[in-house]
Every structure is written in structure tokens, then in C-alpha cells.
Amino acid sequence: MTTSAKARAVGVNHVALEVGDIDEALEFYGQFLEFELRGKHATMAFIDLGDQFIALSKGRKQPSDDERHFGLVVDDKEAVRNVLDKLGIKLLSEQFLDFHDPWGNRIEIVGYEGMQFTKAENVLKGMGLDGLGKSEKAINELTNKGMDPR
């Protein structure tokens, strides 16, 4: 580790989303996401994302998000699109897979294969996702940064 005047951001450990009710939020997100619950109590729940997690926190009071959103990376974006369609959840964009959860959190679903974001092979294997690949575009973007994932 080097000492400098500034720290380098190296990743996101978790994101906290405020919801009205923890059990209702787990039920809602469980309709389109397969996840393991890391922990839960009356005012918080933690959904594992391998080496990261989402915290659901009881007590949302602000209005629905407009542009502020949370981008959630999934292994199968179209599976989420299909479930959202069956649930009658209105998409907020024609270009992206964005929607509001029941508490006004704006969620964008993005596919792992097209993102520069990568998970280490041991993390993917631990999540049961070994073999999950990247698109050529994402590989090229990463390679241009000196981060070839192959």
C-alpha cells in the first residue's frame, strides 16, 4: 500500500435501500432475484451478492427517485424483464431496464456479460456462477484499461 494525499476507491461493499417493510421487501425482490439472506432483524436485512451485499433498511420517507438509481448486475437480465412484465411493473425507460420498487427506489437491472464490472473466478465459483462470461465489447473495454478478464 502506498501513502498518498488521497485514497483510491477500489469497489463498493454494499448499498443500502430504504424500504417500508423488511418482509415485504424480501418478498418483492425475491420474485425476480434468487438470493441468499446474509442476516435479518426487525429494521434491516442483508442480501448476499457474493463478496458484496445489499442492505434493506426499514424507514423510507422521501418521494420516489427520479434519476438517482441503483444499478444491480444480474446473470440473466431477460429473466428479470420477463418476471417484471408478468408482475405488471412499469418500466421507466425504453433504453434501460429501470423500474421503481414499491417504496420508490429506482432500480436498473444490468447484465453481467456487458459490464466492465468483474467478479474474481473464485467468487463466481462460490456463487455457483462459474463460467459466466463477458461480451466482446466488455472484454475490449477492460483490455483497453489493462484489465483483460481472460
Confidence of residue 139 (pLDDT cuts 50, 70, 90): confident
The share of the chain scoring above pLDDT 90, in percent, equals: 62
Predicted confidence at residue 2, as pLDDT, reads 60
Q: What is the mean pLDDT of the chain?
A: 91
The share of the chain scoring above pLDDT 70, in percent, equals: 98
3-state secondary structure 90-113: CCCCCCCEEEECCCCCEEEEEEHH
More confident residue, 10 or 63: 63
pTM for the full predicted model: 0.86
Query: How many Å apart are CA 78 and CA 148, to the nearest integer?
Result: 26
Summarised one tens digit per residue, pLDDT across range 9-20 is 888 889 999 999
Query: How many Å apart are CA 20 and CA 76, to the nearest integer?
Result: 27
CATH topology of domain 14-144: 2,3-Dihydroxybiphenyl 1,2-Dioxygenase; domain 1 (3.10.180)
